[in-house]
Amino acid sequence: MSPRQTLSSSAPDVLAPTGVVRIYEVSPRDGLQNEPEILPVEAKLRLVAGLVEAGLTDIEVTSFVRASWIPQLSDAAELVGRLPRVEGVRYWGLVPNERGLERAVEVGLRHVATFMSASETHNRKNVNRTRQESLSALRQVIGAARDEGVVVRSYLSTVFGCPYEGPVAIADSVNLALSLMEAGADEIALGDTTGMGDPALVQRVIAAMVQAGVPLERIALHMHDTKGTALANILAGYQAGVRTFDGSIGGVGGCPYAPGASGNAATEDLVHMLHAMGVHTGVDLDRACQAGQALAQDLGRPLPGRYLRYWLGAHARTAAARTA
């Protein structure tokens, strides 16, 4: 595999500097994959441009899966080919297998994400494989990516609970995370796929990961807000020392193969909370809300993010006062 073009500087350090929280934006991929309508490429490019203007530097833009699996993301190659080249911005693509990796590298991506589940049943539902079958295949994908100098994030879904099995043994998640790191993954993103986690569980999982040898700085949290606990769980992760958190503008998103998986943690909510705590993120909150406003218009519906709804209401009141 030899990339025709590169969309970011070569393999920069993706870890958050000390004292800084890194927001990993997933709305163009995880946010749109579960939408009933398929947005045109132009709308996706507007979204990505708005995210970049807001200061987000890690953006998961699409997935290189079969169009029949996720038709909402079937335009992956065209989208990546038209992305704005901005210094310091890292675009990521989800890859299910070696062919997906080849497609991502062919269009110039130097950052990819793999995925599997911590629970056996969800993994079978999601990719029709056992966990061990997935792990064996991902070793090949990650190895091939590393041979190309491509940075790899590995998602581990259902760590905090499975919609089919219920609680997931922490030891299972730890062993899978270690195996993915041994295969060469640069970062492990722990997913609360249907929002079943709680702050105490989040801290137990992180403590077990660290004790087993997973470096704290290589752990990310991907939390869904199904039951309204995403921010509480992220705060618990922050208190445990995690500094990379996934967000989705407006709180859009969900897993097609996880019943009840509503939207991701809203980027605006997450940034507002962290800024109120005095934590630096590098994200301009107003510009992030503008990106959320534009996405809501393109989708033709209000988005669930709480801070975005507050921001829209405040702007509407200000506009009404000016015309009064």
Annotated catalytic sites, by residue? 255
Q: What is the DSSP letter of 56?
A: -
H/E element holding 234? helix 230-239
Using only C-alpha atoms, the chain has a radius of gyration, in whole angstroms, of: 18
14-19: long-range contacts (C-beta < 8 A, 24 or more apart)? Answer: 14/58, 14/90, 14/111, 14/151, 14/153, 14/186, 14/187, 15/187, 15/217, 15/218, 15/244, 16/217, 16/243, 16/244, 19/280
Cα distance between residue 35 and residue 197, in whole Å: 24
* The pair of three-digit structure tokens given for residue 170, joined into one six-digit string: 């922490």
Q: % helix / strand / coil in the chain, to the nearest 5? A: 45, 15, 40
Beta strands in 184-267 (DSSP E): 187-192, 219-223, 244-247
Residue written as tokens 């406003």? 293
- Taking a C-beta distance cutoff of 8 angstroms, is the pair 146, 152 a contact? yes
SS (H, E, C) 129-186: CCHHHHHHHHHHHHHHHHHCCCEEEEEEECCCCECCCECCCHHHHHHHHHHHHHHCCC
Helix (H, G, I), strand (E, B) or coil at 120: helix
Cα distance between residue 183 and residue 206, in whole Å: 20
Helix (H, G, I), strand (E, B) or coil at 227: coil
